[in-house]
Amino acid sequence: ADEGMWLLALLKQYNAEELKAMGLKIPVEKLTGESEGALSEAVVAFGSGCTGSFISGSGLVLTNYHCSYGAIQQYLSLSNDITGNGYWAARPSDELAVSGLAITINKKIVDVTAEVKAQLRDAVDANSVKKAVAAVAGKYERQHPGYHILIKPYRNNTLFVLFLQLQYRDVRLVGVPPRNVAKFGGETDNWMWPRQSADFAYFRVYADKNGRPAPYSRSNVPLQVKNYLHISTGGYEKGDFAMSMGYPAQSERYATSYQIRQKTQVLNPPMIAVRAATQAILEKGMEKSQALKLLYAEKYATSANYYKNAVGMNFWVDKLHILDKKEAFQDDWWRWAMEDETRKAMYANTLQELKALTEANDRLKRAHAYYTECFSTSSDIAQFLTAFGAGFYNYNANRKKYPESNRNLVVNTQLYYRKMDMAVERQITKAMLKIIRDSLPADLQPEIFAVKHLQSNEQIDHYVEEVFKTSFFADSVKIRDWFKSTSGSVTNDPLVELMESIEKKQRETYRLAESNARRISALTTAYYNSVCEFKAGRYYPDADRTIRLSYGTVSDLVIGGKAVPCQTTLDHLVAKADTVNRDYLLNGDLARYWKQKDYGKYGVNGTMPVCFITNGDVTGGNSGSPMLNAQGEIIGLVFDCNWESMTREFNYEKDLHRVICVDVRYLLFVTSKFSGTPRVIAEIEQANQAA
């Protein structure tokens, strides 16, 4: 189908025939998740923004390298340069526990529409729906203690799908390749095709002796899974059927032209400006010091990723005339809506009102975007103080009453201070205050600007210097000692004063910006529901972090009649290698294998396939999704989309939009050559023989 992020619960109804016609060789029941042994059970939600899949009976999980930045960061240090050298656990005890990472498995996916309807009787208002859903969820919770029950309403509350989930919190890092192999092309190639990166990583899920989720413990054991995905090294041809399963996070395919205008013209510019400023500061620090380079690698990559995405979105919305297209669609819908008396009564003013409300909100939305980017994304110290600052005031009072919350405070403080460099934070704070000063109207600026007379650059610089010189929170040693002492409390801290002033205005701006949010949301929902009816046909809901199937074929990218081939090889990688742009530094070992054509059993006719593209429909959150052949075997690992597809959130363009995957043969080649231990590759091979 190329377009569509399909609900598994609707596959039989909407997609079974087409899947078969396109070449699917396994029964569609293997995909739907209603019964034991479904592929969906092996495709897991990795953390909160990625996908992974089980590839062995001992809980081995395959996902993207770029989904493991957070995990890597927890173990990265000057003496243990995991990014430069890669990391491979040679023994089970070398697998590294990752804090704050969970893996969620869908044990079963059930259509519970009838059960919810039975609770609802004839009521359809939002409150009754909520209650009915809660009642059904409660019933399943009692039947399945220890499981997480998620019920999602779809299709204007005519379909309810239940996800019976287990969430595992003891997840350990097993192996990652060196960064110059995993991320060859770096930020230069991000969101681009052609591509030559080995963007993969291995983790393992641990459980208690009975296979139940348990918090990290040394006595936990690898989770035994009956149902894992098999790998095919048989390759693919252009035109072959290929499907991916995963957890796309967000899309608004029926977004109005007004929403898209606001996103591109009002919200993206603050994001682009603030991130550019932040990255400039990080870059300077990272150039000067290896320690900062390691410390800020993740923050930099995260900032750069959606920065580039926003730039690309604006470019392509313009180039592809997305606003005109959406308007033409809205006109068609409107004519259809006005043909019928009931619809006319309901929708005569919908679009007009939406347009007016959206425009009326621009000023506040824009201001709020600045606040979020500056202080909830760029500045770590602001985020830390917002989340945990108050804890310090009550720390000693809480010692007896809430020991648990005090312990959390200590742990979170350590986590935050581990990833911050105060000199960098100070520079970011200065830069953010200047951006706010220059970009926001006076009534939307924090009071602190007036209180402290922050006008000129000199005034701001001087103020921030003083604040960081005197604040308790600018000194991690002071904090550590303070945790140990049993008396004293933190009061009148200048950094807290600054951040509180900012937060107050940020919250006020948000509240004002959201004051017509309910109305906008009601109108938008009404419009979306009506558009579903107007378009009729098969239905896929917008991405919402639930598991979906996307399918299409291995396809070239065709731009202006010229085809960019659907596959890259190691020869392309070597040809692209460069010493000026460090994103293209050639890994020495990789160069050697290439020279000797030493590809083991993974090469094909003297070359090594590296990446390929399909025309399926995915979006953010699909990172790490398995790309499967007609037999349901892994042929690749989804890790990106191409530059021409930056409008994906709002539409799907069959000719231009491509999904970028690592070829599984390259992935296995890199694993076997770079891991320095036979452990992982042996485990994978054994899992595939057992088939």
The residue ranges that bind ligand ARG (CB under 6 A) are 66, 183, 186-187, 190-191, 301, 305, 620, 623, 640
Instruction: Provide the minimum distance between the beta carbon of 307 and ligand ARG in the complex, in angstroms, as a whole number.
Output: 11
Comparison of 3 and 640: residue with beta carbon closer to ligand ARG: 640
- Here the tokens at position 400 are 């007896």
Comparison of 424 and 638: residue with beta carbon closer to ligand ARG: 638
Cα-based distances in Å from 453 to 237, 463, 465: 66, 9, 15
SS3 556: coil
Comparison of 186 and 269: residue with beta carbon closer to ligand ARG: 186
CB burial of 543-570 (b: ≥16 within 10 Å; e: otherwise) equals bbbbbbbbbbbbbbbeeeeeeeebbbbb
Which of these, 102, 68, 60, 108, lies nearest to 229 by C-alpha position? 60
Q: What's the sign of the alpha-carbon dihedral 329, 332, 338, 340?
A: negative
Comparison of 56 and 625: residue with beta carbon closer to ligand ARG: 625
Instruction: Provide the minimum distance between the beta carbon of 373 and ligand ARG in the complex, in angstroms, as a whole number.
Output: 17
User: If residue 171 lies in a helix (H) or strand (E), which one and from where to where?
Assistant: strand 170-176
Comparison of 246 and 620: residue with beta carbon closer to ligand ARG: 620
Please state, in angstroms and rounded to a whole number, the distance separating the CA atoms of residues 421 and 341.
Answer: 64
Comparison of 183 and 366: residue with beta carbon closer to ligand ARG: 183
Instruction: Provide the minimum distance between the beta carbon of 558 and ligand ARG in the complex, in angstroms, as a whole number.
Output: 22
Please state, in angstroms and rounded to a whole number, the distance separating the CA atoms of residues 228 and 40.
Answer: 9
Identify whether the C-beta of residue 391 lies closer than 8 Å to the C-beta of residue 482. Answer: no
User: 149 pairs with which residues across the strands?
Assistant: 164
Comparison of 183 and 430: residue with beta carbon closer to ligand ARG: 183
CB burial of 187-210 (b: ≥16 within 10 Å; e: otherwise) equals bebbbbbbbbbbbbbbbbbbbeee
Residue with tokens 């959606």: 306
Comparison of 1 and 659: residue with beta carbon closer to ligand ARG: 659
Which of these, 211, 103, 104, 209, lies nearest to 150 by C-alpha position? 104
Comparison of 301 and 357: residue with beta carbon closer to ligand ARG: 301
Instruction: Determine the angle formed by the axes of helices 494-513 and 457-470, rounding to 10 degrees.
Output: 120
- Here the tokens at position 460 are 């701001």
Please state, in angstroms and rounded to a whole number, the distance separating the CA atoms of residues 173 and 203.
Answer: 4
Comparison of 197 and 330: residue with beta carbon closer to ligand ARG: 197
Please state, in angstroms and rounded to a whole number, the distance separating the CA atoms of residues 412 and 373.
Answer: 22
Comparison of 317 and 499: residue with beta carbon closer to ligand ARG: 317
Comparison of 490 and 611: residue with beta carbon closer to ligand ARG: 611
Instruction: Provide the minimum distance between the beta carbon of 366 and ligand ARG in the complex, in angstroms, as a whole number.
Output: 24
Comparison of 65 and 88: residue with beta carbon closer to ligand ARG: 65
Comparison of 384 and 584: residue with beta carbon closer to ligand ARG: 584
Identify whether the C-beta of residue 375 lies closer than 8 Å to the C-beta of residue 399. Answer: no
CB atoms within 10 A of CB 518: 9
Which of these, 300, 179, 228, lies nearest to 59 by C-alpha position? 228
Please state, in angstroms and rounded to a whole number, the distance separating the CA atoms of residues 676 and 691.
Answer: 26
What is the SS3 string spanning 459-478?
A: HHHHHHHHHHHHCHHHCHHH
E strands present in 10-77: 43-46, 50-54, 60-63
Instruction: Provide the minimum distance between the beta carbon of 335 and ligand ARG in the complex, in angstroms, as a whole number.
Output: 38
Residue type, 391: G
Comparison of 49 and 211: residue with beta carbon closer to ligand ARG: 49
User: 620 pairs with which residues across the strands?
Assistant: none
Rg from Cα positions in the chain = 26
Instruction: Provide the minimum distance between the beta carbon of 301 and ligand ARG in the complex, in angstroms, as a whole number.
Output: 5
Comparison of 181 and 436: residue with beta carbon closer to ligand ARG: 181
Identify whether the C-beta of residue 258 lies closer than 8 Å to the C-beta of residue 359. Answer: yes
Identify whether the C-beta of residue 8 lies closer than 8 Å to the C-beta of residue 33. Answer: yes
Instruction: Give every strand in the sheet of 609-614, ordered side by side.
Output: 6-7, 548-553, 241-246, 626-628, 634-641, 659-663, 609-614, 567-569
Please state, in angstroms and rounded to a whole number, the distance separating the CA atoms of residues 663 and 197.
Answer: 10
Environment class of residue 96 by beta-carbon count within 10 Å: exposed (0-12), middle (13-18) or buried (19+)? middle
Please state, in angstroms and rounded to a whole number, the distance separating the CA atoms of residues 160 and 154.
Answer: 6
Instruction: Provide the minimum distance between the beta carbon of 433 and ligand ARG in the complex, in angstroms, as a whole number.
Output: 29
Instruction: Provide the minimum distance between the beta carbon of 66 and ligand ARG in the complex, in angstroms, as a whole number.
Output: 4
Instruction: Provide the minimum distance between the beta carbon of 130 and ligand ARG in the complex, in angstroms, as a whole number.
Output: 33
Which of these, 592, 608, 610, 591, lies nearest to 600 by C-alpha position? 608
Comparison of 229 and 659: residue with beta carbon closer to ligand ARG: 659
Comparison of 232 and 623: residue with beta carbon closer to ligand ARG: 623
Please state, in angstroms and rounded to a whole number, the distance separating the CA atoms of residues 437 and 367.
Answer: 11
Instruction: Provide the minimum distance between the beta carbon of 172 and ligand ARG in the complex, in angstroms, as a whole number.
Output: 22
Instruction: Provide the minimum distance between the beta carbon of 157 and ligand ARG in the complex, in angstroms, as a whole number.
Output: 32
